[in-house]
A and B are shown apart, each in its own frame.
Chain A
Amino acid sequence: DTGVSQNPRHKITKRGQNVTFRCDPISEHNRLYWYRQTLGQGPEFLTYFQNEAQLEKSRLLSDRFSAERPKGSFSTLEIQRTEQGDSAMYLCASSSQGVGNSPLHFGNGTRLTVT
């Protein structure tokens, strides 16, 4: 168990640019989640996958955000035309299927700064 891996750890970009983050979950976990965390707040749910299927998206997720998990393993989160308000820590988490008895395992996050 190597844990959940996220890359890059930090990303600084100019407003209007596109960015893409990657998440590699724990290998046997079939559920993968993306959360956003701003300073002084708890994680806010963005979206979640079961295997390759994106089953739920938050209303917070604007059309500029898209996530994929093409083969049910790693996932990418893309933000198009970034805005300063997108600056946050983006957390990925994974869990195994099993109603409620599998807690989330988090990566160390990608910190995005939009200048």
Chain B
Amino acid sequence: AQSVTQLDSQVPVFEEAPVELRCNYSSSVSVYLFWYVQYPNQGLQLLLKYLSGSTLVKGINGFEAEFNKSQTSFHLRKPSVHISDTAEYFCAVSPTNTGNQFYFGTGTSLTVIP
């Protein structure tokens, strides 16, 4: 079974400050990892994904995430946030042995303060 934990439900941060959104997962098999962003009244948009290779992956809008297998984590970071980054962020995993099922965390609401 797979589960995803996003420890912070809300993260306020000042504009141009760095931010880290935490994601931990539990799985009996190896997984692929994803971060999605959701703006109000919209669907989810892929930010970045980890499939294999380098554990540091870069995504859109200046975001990056690092896969840590020993800590089963996939934290999302951005060195300097903008007002437009205010949104809900979801971490998701997909088992590598099937690849047809995705499990989402409960989300982190990022609010960028001017």
Contact = CB atoms under 8 A, between A and B. Distances in A.
Interface string A80-115: 000000000001010000111111111111010000
B98 A42 contact: no
Interface of B: 4, 9, 32, 34, 36, 41-46, 49, 51, 90, 92, 94-107
B3 to A, nearest CB: 11
A4 interface: yes
B51 A101 contact: yes
Contact of A106 (B41, B45, B49): B45
Interface stretch (A48-56, A59-67, A70-78): A48-56
Contacts, number: 69
A105 B45 CA distance: 7
Contacts of B45: 106
B105 A104 contact: no
A113 B1 CA distance: 32
A41 interface: yes
A99 B99 contact: yes
A91 B44 contact: yes
B101 A42 contact: no
Given A44-B104, A102-B99, 4 more contacts: A4-B43, A33-B102, A42-B106, A93-B43
B44 A43 contact: yes
Contacts of A91: 43-44
Contact of A104 (B4, B98, B102, B107): B102
Which residue, B43, B90, B106, B107, has most C-beta atoms of chain A within 10 A?
A: B43
A111 to B, nearest CB: 8
A106 B98 contact: no
Given A99-B99, A103-B34, A43 B106 contact: no
B94 to A, nearest CB: 6
B43 A56 contact: no
B27 to A, nearest CB: 13
Contacts of A106: 36, 43-45
Contacts of B106: 40-42
